[in-house]
Amino acid sequence: MNDARPPRPYVDPTQVDHDKPAPAPSPAPAAADWAQASHLPRRKPAARPRVPRPKTERGYLSSHWHGEQSLVRSYWVNNMLLATPLAMALTGLMSWISAKGESLQISAIVLLLGLPLLTSLDIWCVVGAWRSAVHHVRDGGSKLWSWLARLTLAAGALQLAVSILFGFLPSLGEYWQMARGIDPIGQVKLSVSADGHSLRLDGAIGMGDGQRLIDLLKSEAARDLRRIELTSPGGRVHEAEKMAAALKQRGTASRAVGTCASACTLVFLAGNPRQLTPGAQLGFHRASTGTYNPVFEELANQQLAATYRDLGLPQSMIDKTLRTPSHSIWFAPREDLLAHALIAPLPQTLAIALPPASSASLADFDDALRIHPVWGALEKRKEGTVNAVATRMFEARKAGAGDEDVQAAAWSPLAQQLPALIADSDPQMRRRYVQLVAEQLKALRLPPKPGQRPPCRDLLDGRLGTRQQLPLALQIRESQWLLEAASAAPPRWQPRPASPIEIEVLDRTVGSAAMGMLARLWADAPDAAPGPGAGCEPVIATLDRLQAQPLARRELVERLLFQSR
């Protein structure tokens, strides 16, 4: 072991004179400095003197870039009061172009010229403030404020980088096209019908289309314009707002003949009245600014909600629209549109909206028939049906016929299709029609007037004028059946004539009179001379007995009811 104490001298006891006093011990040597350090109080470190930054001859811009200005000036003045507003203005300009689409060409030119300058200025502000924050610590300043400043600077730089990388660069080609006066999404196609009553709007709504529509509405070609027909995926909101304002001021009707989505719905809602043809739909979703700034996204959608509110869209549908992402779409159900009176209800019977007698034309009848769901379905099943019906109705109108006779003129061309339509129906559809005929006969089973035939007998003999006496509920049911039958897929096999075995089964089950019992239902027979005629009780009784037959036998009888021997 090591002993820090000095060694004591050895004294031989045999040589020591005990009478003499012992020599005084020599003083111990002083301990080393390192051994005394733990026993001494520690001295506080001397405060680092704050060295002022050397003054340079650099100007204001250069001194900020090198971080030579104070943190307060570099961060709050040069960055927060200069760079941040400019970055927000840049993002807002891109958002405004995407959402509103107003003055696209001028905005695109300003953006292409100002973006490099604004980006350079923002880099100058961020880099200078960052360097100043670093120098602030070296000069003895607070580390907390230095790191807080650097964190906010990094967040601002990140937001700018995201806006440029994901908002500007992917759309650089589009901005270049807009700067040259070309809208990358295209322009809508506007065409006026031959009679001048209808204006067709087809395609995306692009730059300048609002003014094009306004100029067209003021032209001589649109003097007799009554409605606008829409098929569009949407486009520029600002252009759609200009279109909507022009149509609303003029009082033009609107009709969606296909998919009308996004900004197109603004144009549709400006019409009065509004029609949605069979197969057409209205699509809604949030507005998109093309940037990743939630503030501008929210502002754009609040403006869109206000526009929809002015056009009469209910708040429940506006909320649904704002909840639908811009990359998706929500197609409003027809039931909701009808419940809020946003569209006119479709006709429930075969009757159409007749044009005014004074100015009716063949094109008006053709148009009214094509938007009718039943006549439109019949036209798809057999081309030329609408033209034949429109011609008959137009000729009746020219001859001075009343509204009821004009509507009844459509039944004769329809009667030419009904036998084939009934024969091509599946067993379930045919059974429903047989039940409907039984109810029609019962409704017309009235005591005949002296010297006249029973109305139900006229119905069975194919006198189409008798159908005007049917109750409205039965007319609606027949119209619904016709729509389903005309819209159904064609049969895989052509209907075959009755075989001798099938006729034998029919004779033994319901009687020989059932064969062809309903074959003349749509015969379009001329009016018969007044006379008592036979009743229709045996027919009603036969149709009622069918419900008790086995399914296979019932299907056979229901098919042979419409076939003659």
Tell whether 35 is covered by a domain: no
d(CA 85, CA 392): 70
Same domain, 441 and 314: no
Residue 168 and residue 69 share a domain: yes
Report if residue 142 sits inside a domain: yes
Q: Is the dihedral of CA 317, 322, 324, 330 positive or negative?
A: positive
Sign of the dihedral through C-alpha 133, 134, 140, 146: positive
One domain for residues 194 and 332: yes
- Residue 115 in domain: yes
337 and 276 Cβ atoms separated by less than 8 Å: yes
| Residue 327 sits in the same domain as residue 351 | no
Structure tokens at 119: 């980006």
Q: Which domain holds residue 503?
A: 417-560
C-beta of residue 356 within 8 angstroms of C-beta of residue 257? no
Whether residues 333 and 194 fall in one domain: yes
Residue 481 lies in a domain: yes
Considering 139, 154, 179, which residue would you say is the last residue of a domain? 179
34 in a domain, yes or no? no
**Residue 69 shares a structural domain with residue 110:** yes
| 374 and 299 in a common domain | no
Per-residue pLDDT of the chain (565 residues), as tens digits, is 455 555 555 555 555 555 555 555 556 565 555 555 555 555 655 555 555 555 566 777 788 888 888 888 888 887 777 766 766 776 666 555 555 555 677 777 877 877 787 788 888 888 888 888 888 888 888 888 888 888 888 887 887 788 788 877 887 888 788 888 778 888 899 999 888 889 999 999 988 899 999 999 999 999 989 899 999 999 988 899 999 999 999 999 999 999 999 999 999 999 999 999 888 999 999 987 665 567 777 888 898 999 999 999 999 999 999 999 988 999 999 999 999 999 998 888 999 988 887 778 898 899 899 889 999 999 999 999 999 999 999 999 999 999 999 999 999 999 999 999 999 899 999 999 999 999 999 999 877 666 677 889 899 999 998 898 999 999 999 999 999 999 988 777 766 777 888 888 888 888 888 888 999 999 887 755 454 556 788 999 999 988 888 998 898 889 999 988 7
Domain termination site, one of 283, 307, 339: 339
* CATH code assigned at 276: 3.90.226.10
Within a domain: 129: yes
Pairing of strands 253-261, 227-232: parallel
* C-alpha closest to that of 176 among 87, 99, 107, 98: 107
- In the chain, the number of structural domains is 4
| Whether 245 and 370 share a structural domain | no
Q: Which residue in 188, 231, 209, 176 sits closest to 101, CA to CA?
A: 209
Q: Are residues 67 and 170 in the same domain?
A: yes
Report yes or no on 451 lying in a domain.
yes
Q: Tell me: do 325 and 460 sit in the same domain.
A: no
Is 398 found in the same domain as 536?
A: no
Residue owning tokens 């006249």: 452
For residues 210 and 328, membership in a common domain is answered with yes
**46 within a domain of the structure (yes/no):** no
